[in-house]
Chains A and B, each alone.
Chain A
Amino acid sequence: MKFFVIAVLAILPCVTACKGNKSVETDWQKVIASYKDDGKAVNYHELAKLNLALAETGRLAEDVFKYTQAGSAGLIPEWNRTNEVGTVLGDVYWSMGHVAYAQRMYFEALVVGENERDPYLLTRLVQTNLVLGAYRVAEKYISILENDGFDCSRYKPLLYDDSAVDSDPELGPKRRCVPIKDHISLEEGLEEDLKVIIRQNPSYRNAVDYLGVLYLLECNMDGFRGFLDEFYGTEALPKLPKAFAEAACMLSQLESGYWKKVGVDKRMWNDYRDFKTRIETRLSLDKYKGTFWYYILRANNQ
């Protein structure tokens, strides 16, 4: 069976402040390769970093269930007022295009950390402030980074130049995610905030992937169905990635033939029927480890 593959494979450039040759960029492939899946997924912080790496490499909605998952806390860990989790949360919100909340978490992480001049967090704050047009704050952080020996030539030319930020390949897409009309962050839940981002910037893949995966990790099939109803077939979601297609098969239990409506491959549909038969006949489900079906079965049995 040929599964849908997300076309967007571009690895987003990351933090680029450098001190000499010492880069503070994140090697997402290395994060994925070094992740140790112990089958328990009790370390939400590490799991969130893995899922972030999948998102940043365009694989989240394809590969999320290849790894043992643990609900939404493994996607967006609970804020425990530590530098470590604050940094991960900042990266997660930044990745999904929630710039204001990313900035909030990066700042919290900086403030609570022992190094008030943490170059990674200061660089992230340069990025968020550039995107939000707070150029004087960005300039302050750039000045501090430069005084500490970091090269900020990547960002300095963007100061006070809206069109340069708009056309920047890294920051421009983030800026297009910032809602034109202000609202209270997370007031109606992260899902609603992500919908606002997707409606405004439908080409921003990570928001779509995070939203769909968030529904699936929470086993929120009604929410997921609403998500497909609104976005499937639009620029935001022209085709379903693997995890979404698997979930769409399950939705066909409530609406016959739904899988066809959302373009699920027949081979996947047959696999889903086989999966259900195996449950009924108590056959091994091992071949379906790595599917949403297996995840939700396990989640419902816990």
Chain B
Amino acid sequence: MKHLTTGLLMISILCACARDIDICEHIDAGAPVFPDYSGVTVPVNIAPLIFRYDGDAAQSALILSAGNTVFRMKGPEFGIPIKKWHALTSEGDITATVCIKEDGVWKAFKPFTIYVSADKIDPYVAYRLIPPGYETWYKLGIYQRSLESFTEKPVITNDKTDNNCMNCHSFCNRDPGKMMFHMRAKNGGTYTWNEGQIEKLNTKTPQTISALVYPRWHPSGKYIGFSVNDIAQFFHTTNPNRIEVYDSMSDVVMYDVDNHEVFTSPLLTDTTRFETFPAFSPDGKTLYFCSSPAQKVPGGYKDIRYSICSIAFDPETGAFGDRIDTVYSAARSGHGATFPRVSPDGRFILFTETDYGCFAIWHHDADLRLLNLEDGSISSLDEANSAEAESYHCWSSNGRWIIYVSRRLDGLYSRLYISHIDENGKASKAFLLPQKDSHYYEEELRSYNVPEFIIGTVSFNMDDMAKIAKNDPGINVTFSNKE
């Protein structure tokens, strides 16, 4: 009854607005709005696309229509209520008409369409929020955001852990109950949240280059693939890319979750090559990773180009295959590949292509590409890319959505974009993760980092995690010689 009353009240308000917007003229131009959501494809369960009229007119309004549902509101900020938005998305594609009042009459810009896909998106995304800095940090944290609303909650923030650095969060099959991340500097270690237990791991072994770095959970949950890297950085004097982050050595190893061991293969630890960024096929029987001929750095930084390679892996025995296959050849493409991410159906690898180097987020040219593993073709995903860096991508559970970061808004601060991928691997025009306030991104001085879809919320207690971080000496991970 209460809902019915609210609904009737809303309709009367909407009708009142409707009476106010009597369109007399049409403007032969698209509406100046921010963010630009014209022509984007959104999942049916996405949070409202809040945007604003960004022109000079003193009065503005928005008419949204889908099927038999029409919603009108005054601008310039079009704060569409969630329920009303979902009433619209349930009807199908939405037509948005922005109007302005000039010289006493309402004029309508060319309408645009927001395409609504019935393919649902996972309900949550986890990401790190951190200023796009180089060496220093102060406040940072890993957060989880509902994609169906605007609710954002911290997973862990560094004010609980002596303002240390934390990074490289990763989930097993988007399961919020199987998560890992690293803390760096103070309280340093790798932390796993698995089967309701928190473990602190000390992961540097005498046999490995470094502590564990870039992770990817094996789909079985029994292993986590990691790279171990000797990472350095330098600053350009002139290049707009500002900074290069590079490895002087790197290998790929496997971490055995139950036995607290790392192991690897000589084929993944070739001293003449840099191996990094592990990823797994959905059946867990293939390990993909990036590999480049080793270069003398920093001088040879422009000659570092990673191919995407694969090696067989037996999850039952932990044995690796005896040969490396190349699925994307840097030598052939003239570019390099980083961050391979295999689609849930195993047909595609989504990766970042850049002219050189491994840390593509600082490269303006970095774009997403889609490698079709069935025929070896590469799609340029133009609808998902921009003139600025795109990277840190991941797949939704149903393989129909990708979320990734892009620096397209201002060239520096990474924001989350979502694009639909159809069954043929074709991307739709990406949309900026909506926020409750359309000014949010202009004011926000932190970057979004490593978005990972999750199917629920991470439930460990931050204080418990902090206690372990500060007081627990951690489990010393050992190196196993099994091959």
Contact = CB atoms under 8 A, between A and B. Distances in A.
B136 interface: yes
A116 B298 CA distance: 32
B133 A108 contact: yes
Contacts of B236: 100, 182-185
Interface in B383-439: 409-413
Contact of A111 (B138, B298, B443): B138
B238 A111 contact: no
B131 A110 contact: yes
Contact of B442 (A114, A137, A140): A140
A101 interface: yes
Interface stretch (A173-181, A240-248, A279-287): A173-181
A104 B412 contact: no
A110 B446 CA distance: 12
A8 B139 CA distance: 43
Contacts of A86: 136
Contacts of B244: 184
A147 B443 contact: yes
Contact of A137 (B239, B412, B443): B412
B411 A179 contact: no
B22 to A, nearest CB: 35
A81 interface: yes
A185 B137 contact: no
Contact of A100 (B137, B237, B412, B442): B237
Question: Which of the four size classes fits the interface of chain A?
Answer: 35 or more
A139 interface: yes
B136 A100 contact: no
Given A107-B133, A112-B137, A185 B240 contact: no
Interface in B135-152: 135-139
Interface string A65-78: 00000000000000
B415 to A, nearest CB: 12
Interface in B236-262: 236-240, 242-244
Nearest to B446: A116
A180 B240 CA distance: 12
B238 A178 contact: yes
A31 interface: no
Interface string B112-143: 00000000000000000001011111110000
A113 interface: yes
Given A116-B445, A132-B240, A104 B235 contact: yes
A187 B296 CA distance: 14
Contacts of B242: 100, 103-104
A100 B238 contact: yes
A103 B131 CA distance: 14
Contacts of B138: 111-114, 116
Interface in B200-243: 234-240, 242-243
A180 B237 CA distance: 9
Q: Most chain-A CB neighbours within 10 Å: which of B131, B136, B240?
A: B136
B250 to A, nearest CB: 20
Contact of B136 (A108, A140, A183): A108
13 contacts: A108-B134, A139-B410, A140-B412, A140-B413, A143-B442, A178-B237, A179-B237, A182-B237, A183-B238, A184-B235, A185-B234, A185-B236, A185-B237
Given A86-B136, A108-B135, A185-B236, 15 more contacts: A81-B135, A98-B237, A104-B242, A107-B133, A107-B134, A113-B138, A136-B409, A136-B410, A140-B412, A178-B237, A181-B238, A183-B237, A183-B238, A184-B235, A184-B298
What are the 8 A-B residue pairs with the smallest beta carbon separation, nearest first? A112-B136, A182-B238, A111-B133, A185-B235, A182-B239, A136-B410, A111-B131, A140-B410
